Amino acid sequence: MSPSLDASACHNLLRSFLAEDIGSGDVTTESTVPALLRAHGDVICKAPLVLAGIDLFVEVFRLLDETTEASFSFHDGEELIPGKIPARVTASARALLTGERIALNLLQRLSGVATLTRRFVDAVKGTGAQILDTRKTTPGLRGLERYAVRVGGGTNHRRDLSEAILIKENHIRLAGGVTAALTAAQAARSHASWIEIEVTNLDELRASVVHGPDVILLDNMSPALVRQAVDLVRTRSSSGSSKKIRTEASGGISLQNVREFAEAGVDWISLGALTHSAPAVDISFEIEPE
């Protein structure tokens, strides 16, 4: 199990996934495959990918058969081409067949997130901008998807609602405006790691800068407008205030334009697409009797 993942939490998740899939028993495998037969399975990449979740893949089978053994040729974070075999798993044939779908689903999903993240990270290389995820994760899989983002070279945004104060459009509207929202947030800042506010235009930006949030999120702005916003924040920071305000761009960002946003000078670029739109990568698991 990767040291970046909580082993106990992962085991609980994997057990729940297996219980959902197996139900009262794998009737096909139990009726057709001898109980004492052992087999090995090769994980085979069918597309270019960044590997993520290979330890979890093996752990699925260990939960079904404690005698499971695995040999690894590649590890999480490595870029693989079609035909590469990152791991071979040897276990009870029944365990390999019963756990195959859950193990593959996770490996394909997490490798998909890592692969897409790496593409964005590579696209902004040399600019100083960091690629961040968001809370747009699959319910129940946030910890694993955040791990896959890190494997791909990205950075995690706030873990959950309790970690940071992130004031968005609806918060501003319900609080009574930018000033009211930030004033209330500053009074509660001891409860959060940082204070961030989302703005959609330069007027909101100017109103926000006065109150010194830690981060200003530039939402759905063009690269040109983002550059203006970053210049305004930097001008404020160089006018006597010792506090650096970070800038974050989000909304309307793709692989085609992400470098434009990075070159506009933002510190962070956050993308919900890293987790909500990453396609699963093509990986197979070919099983043979020992």
Among residues 84, 101, 135, 206, the one annotated as catalytic is 101
Query: Strands 38-45 and 79-80, how do they pair?
Result: unpaired
Between the alpha carbon of residue 261 and those of residues 78, 209, 224, 238, 264, the distances in Å are 27, 20, 8, 22, 5
Query: Among 282, 267, 289, which Cα is nearest to 43's?
Result: 282
Query: Strand locations in 136-226, DSSP E?
Result: 165-167, 195-199, 215-219
CB-based contact 149:52 (threshold 8 Å): no
Name the catalytic one among 168, 169, 173, 288. Answer: 168
Closest CA to 130 of 266, 235, 285: 266
Q: Give the bridge partners for 40, in sequence order.
A: 90, 288
Given 145, 198, 248, 267, which residue is catalytic?
198
Q: Which of 38, 119, 135, 136 is catalytic?
A: 136
The tokens describing 89, both together, are 């798993």
Give me the catalytic one of 100, 133, 204, 219.
Answer: 219
Please confirm, yes or no, whether 101 is among the known catalytic residues: yes
Instruction: Tell me, yes or no, if 125 is annotated catalytic.
Output: no
For residue 58, which phi and psi values (nearest 5 degrees)?
A: -70, -35
CB 168 within 8 A of CB 220: no
159 is a catalytic site residue: no
The answer to whether the CB of 27 falls within 8 A of the CB of 270 is no
Annotated catalytic, 136?
yes
Cα 128 from Cα 68, distance rounded (Å): 44
Q: Compute the distance between CA of residue 134 and CA of residue 160 in angstroms, rounded to an integer.
A: 10
Active-site positions read 101, 136, 168, 198, 219
